[in-house]
Amino acid sequence: MPRPSYEQHRAGKAATAAALGRRRGSLVESETDAESLASFSTHLTDSSQTYYPPPTRLSGTPNQHHHQHLPFPGIRQRTFSSTSRESSATYSPAPSSPSAAVGTALGVGVRDGMREKERAERRERREQRRKEKERKSTLLGDKYDSPLRRWLRWMSRSGLSAWSLPVGLAAVLVVKAAVGLGGFSGKDSPPMFGDFEAQRHWMELTLHLPTREWYTYSPEWWQLDYPPLSAYASWLCGRLGAALDPTHFALDESRGLSPPALVTYLRASVLTFEALVWWSAVVAYMVLEGRKGGRSWRSQMTGIMTVLLQPSLALIDNGHFQYNSVLLGLSLWAVIFLKRGQDVAACIAFSLALCFKQMGLYYAPAIGCYLLGKCIHLNGSKGILHLVKLGVATIATFALMFAPWISTDPQPVLWVIHRIFPLARGLFEDKVANFWCASNVAIKWRTWFSVTGLARSTSGLPACNARRPFADDHYPAVQQLQPPCPVLHPSRGNRQAEINHAQLYSHLWRRSRSDCHTTARRAVHLVHVLLPPLVPGAREEHPPPLMPLTIMMSLRGGKEGAARTEEEIWDWGVLLNNVAVFSMWPLLVRDGQALQYVTVTLLWNYVIGYSPLAVEGVLLRTLGLLVYAGIAIIHTLDSLPIAALHPARFPDLYVVLNVLLSFGVFGVAWLWATRKLVEGAWAMGGLSATKSTVKTAG
């Protein structure tokens, strides 16, 4: 029998494989498989004499396989290997073989057809499942594809995975330093200048004066109104700076100075503090979270870069000039310690954060509730001991920070506190996107109420907190009005259950695989989410409230169950970040940061792969598109040099529009966050946390 040419042979094979969509190499694998080697059919094949089929079959039926040399091809041989079965099923006998004709007569073809159909369906289902999996995968899915991920993928493919962190941090450094080349708050704007001058003045003042006089010196010029740790940091900067050039920090004579060398020095000090406190915290948090949640190094790196490149903080700290990153870093370190179950360290870190900037108090209710709840659940002497430990740590930290002002005379400390919470400065200073300012368009709050009275009333209303919300005498009221956080429910029931519960609770943060853990973690985080609408209440400290949300959204794409929620958080997170940057526009344009505002915001959105069109929920997508359209319209109208668009009667028209739009988005986001919080709390155990958690623990 003449041998078919190799080309013919291969063409036949290819045709068969294409017709069946068979997996590549399946034929061969069936041969080499240990299972199929043991099978009957393969055995027979090996014993057959002629290996090559006659050429007539080649032209007729393209599928050649050694199975057709079985003595009784119609009889299906049972093998363990699925691939062998597949191949034998595709066998269709050659007309020249009499035994094959018998097989056809027996109706093998019909049965084969049915099986074929089933198999095709199964294959299709399998394919669908694979596609679904691929779509959801953060590694391969189109939805998650972003320049950041592409870059990380390229790095690890080039064997540079270990270098991605240093390279990423260097890139962040470059971007932030480049932002610092622009203008800063109060540049060339006498008589009072701005935040830059304030910070420089504090350095000068802490450097030259005894500690007692820090908060009382020169009330007419940028008086120190941040807590002591901030003042100590100023002292350190002043000390180092004066070693370089004392004229920059000469007492009283250096007011309003901003030579390039000084600007560079202060910018460098911001970057240094940021790298030491904030970057380290973000890296530590992402690594911790990634390890617990089983996320890859690439996901962790994506998270780190997403948070560090966030535009608001870069524009405020490195552009406008402030030291917010230290506050954020210390708060994040507190959260990290909480996650690790190191509550005392968390207390110290958070107290330091509060001692750096009083805006940290926005986080205080959440962290306080969490710690208090933990003490209650530990129950009895354990709980009290824990409470005492935490209390001692907190008080000791505060005492250490306030030590220079503490004496038998309470007056200095009270004065410091009065400086830090200057209720006399009014409900809001500039136009900011909070409730009070937005509603001021309709209702003139400031003329209705005396200043202090309103501050008192706002501190009782956590939902619409204004700036400096926590006047010291009203602090407990805030706690009482916290949303239903299950950890606050005192446990009831028998003793065993209580112990179980307490154990569960103390381990809650260490468990990685329990659903309970996920929900609990989310619940506590969502307490942070509450904050965005409150926050723009402060002068321009937008970044603090955005921090928890950005941290949460940065680890995008989760396990099956959590994926939807995480998507939602991601979409809301980007929207709120963008709106927050937008709400800072009037401030930034005054600082000469307009170019940086546009570039950094667009860069961040591009790098994280955000597209408002790809948002999943219809409602959120519509909202987002409307908001972006509104932003575009406001910017366009504002920038067009047409006199009719800038009526003299309303000089602040676009600023007010900006405030209204931003406040609207913040308000909706606040409602969403509250809903999420309630949902999370409900999922953890409804109104009675005890029962369900005990069940989970049991």
Partner 1 sequence: MLGLTKGQRDLFVAATALKVLLFPAYRSTDFEVHRNWLAITHNLPLGQWYYDTTSEWTLDYPPFFAYFSYVLTLPAKLLPKHYSEDLLQLSRVPVEGWAVVGYMRISVLVTEVVLFWSLLRLSGSSYESSPAKVVALAIAFHPGFLILDAIHFQYNGFLFGLMIWSLVGAKEASREACLILWLMRPTTYVRGVLRGSAQLQVSGPLIMLHIYVYLAPAWFIYLLRTYCIPPKTGLTLRLKPLVQIGTVVIGVTAVSLGPFLYLGQGQQLFARLFPFTRGLMHAYWAPNAWASVTLIDRILLQAAKRFHVDLAVSSAGVASTSRGLVGDTNFAVIPDITPLHCFILTGLTQVVQLVPLWQRPSYKAFLQAIAACGFSSFMFGWHVHEKAVMLVLVPLSLLAAEDWNHYQALVVASVSGIIGLFPLLFKAAETPVKMGYSFVWLVVVCGSLRFSVPKPTPTIPSHLLDNLQTLYLSTAPVLLLFTSVLHPVLSLSGHIPPSMEFLPLMLTSVWCSLGLWIAWGRLNWGMWRGGEALPEVLPHHALRESTMPSPLTPSSSQEIIPISPPPYASSSKSKSKPIASTSTSTSASISTTLPQPAVFTPDSDLHHKIRTHQQEYDAKAEVQGGKRKARRGAVEEERDRAGKMSRNQMTERMPYRPLRVHLDGPPGLESRRGSSGKMTYWEVRTAKAEQQARAKVGRIASGRA
d(CA 65, CA 28) in angstroms, rounded, equals: 10
Residue 174 CB, nearest distance to partner 1 (Å)? 4
- Quick one: 596 or 658, whose CB is closer to partner 1? 596
Assign 396 to helix, strand or coil: helix
- Quick one: 129 or 150, whose CB is closer to partner 1? 150
- Quick one: 169 or 417, whose CB is closer to partner 1? 169
Q: Which residues contact 124 (CB under 8 A, 6 or more apart)?
A: none
Output the CA angle 591-577-621, nearest 5 degrees: 135
Residue 688: which of 441, 389, 486 has the closest Cα? 486
| CB 421, CB 224: distance < 8 Å | no
d(CA 474, CA 691) in angstroms, rounded, equals: 33
Residue 645 CB, nearest distance to partner 1 (Å)? 17
Residue 160 CB, nearest distance to partner 1 (Å)? 5
Residue 269 CB, nearest distance to partner 1 (Å)? 12
Residue 166 CB, nearest distance to partner 1 (Å)? 7
- Quick one: 148 or 224, whose CB is closer to partner 1? 148
d(CA 432, CA 394) in angstroms, rounded, equals: 33
Residue 127 CB, nearest distance to partner 1 (Å)? 17
- Quick one: 27 or 620, whose CB is closer to partner 1? 27
Residue 172 CB, nearest distance to partner 1 (Å)? 9
Residue 167 CB, nearest distance to partner 1 (Å)? 5
Residue 209 CB, nearest distance to partner 1 (Å)? 23
- Quick one: 260 or 476, whose CB is closer to partner 1? 260
d(CA 674, CA 150) in angstroms, rounded, equals: 35
CB atoms under 10 Å from CB of 520, counted, come to 26
Residue 260 CB, nearest distance to partner 1 (Å)? 7
Helices marked H in 250-323 — which ranges?
Answer: 260-273, 280-293, 297-308, 311-313
Distances (CA, A) of 230 to 325, 417, 547: 12, 14, 20
Give me the count of residues in the chain.
Answer: 698
| CB 518, CB 562: distance < 8 Å | yes
Residue 140 CB, nearest distance to partner 1 (Å)? 7
Residue with token string 């999370």:
680
The torsion defined by the Cα of 128, 129, 135 and 140, in degrees rounded to 10, comes to -110
- Quick one: 45 or 554, whose CB is closer to partner 1? 45
Residue 3 CB, nearest distance to partner 1 (Å)? 8
Residue 609 CB, nearest distance to partner 1 (Å)? 10
Please state the separation of Cα 213 from the chain's center in Å. Answer: 42
Residue 303: which of 115, 617, 598, 550 has the closest Cα? 550
362 burial (CB, 10 Å; 0-12 / 13-18 / 19+) is buried
- Quick one: 63 or 434, whose CB is closer to partner 1? 63
- The token pair at 429 is 């200073």
The torsion defined by the Cα of 518, 523, 529 and 533, in degrees rounded to 10, comes to 160
d(CA 443, CA 198) in angstroms, rounded, equals: 33
Residue 13 CB, nearest distance to partner 1 (Å)? 5
Helices marked H in 90-181 — which ranges?
Answer: 98-105, 108-136, 147-157, 164-179
- Quick one: 27 or 304, whose CB is closer to partner 1? 27
| CB 611, CB 603: distance < 8 Å | no
- Quick one: 271 or 668, whose CB is closer to partner 1? 271
- Quick one: 165 or 417, whose CB is closer to partner 1? 165
DSSP letter at 445? H
- Quick one: 10 or 129, whose CB is closer to partner 1? 10
Residues lying near partner 1 in the complex (CB under 8 A): 3, 6-7, 9-10, 13, 24-25, 27-29, 31-32, 51-52, 140, 147, 150-151, 154-155, 157-160, 163, 166-167, 170-171, 173-175, 177-183, 243-245, 260-261, 263-264, 267-268, 271, 595-596, 599-600, 602-603, 606-607
- Torsion sign over Cα 630, 321, 176, 352: negative
Residue 28 CB, nearest distance to partner 1 (Å)? 3
- The token pair at 36 is 């199929």
Cis before 260 (ω within 30): no
- Quick one: 271 or 538, whose CB is closer to partner 1? 271
- Quick one: 29 or 213, whose CB is closer to partner 1? 29
253 burial (CB, 10 Å; 0-12 / 13-18 / 19+) is exposed
Residue with token string 């307009």:
594
- Quick one: 304 or 478, whose CB is closer to partner 1? 304
**Amino acid (one-letter) located at 600:** V
Residue 482 CB, nearest distance to partner 1 (Å)? 42
Residue 420: which of 477, 365, 467 has the closest Cα? 467
Residue 485: which of 677, 273, 245 has the closest Cα? 677
Residue 171 CB, nearest distance to partner 1 (Å)? 6
Per-residue b or e along 320-333, where b marks 16 or more CB atoms closer than 10 Å to that residue's CB: bbbbbbbbbbbbbb
- Quick one: 512 or 639, whose CB is closer to partner 1? 639
- The token pair at 453 is 């009275």
- Quick one: 103 or 612, whose CB is closer to partner 1? 612
- Quick one: 140 or 384, whose CB is closer to partner 1? 140
- The token pair at 644 is 């009719």
236 burial (CB, 10 Å; 0-12 / 13-18 / 19+) is middle
Residue 147 CB, nearest distance to partner 1 (Å)? 4
d(CA 562, CA 136) in angstroms, rounded, equals: 12
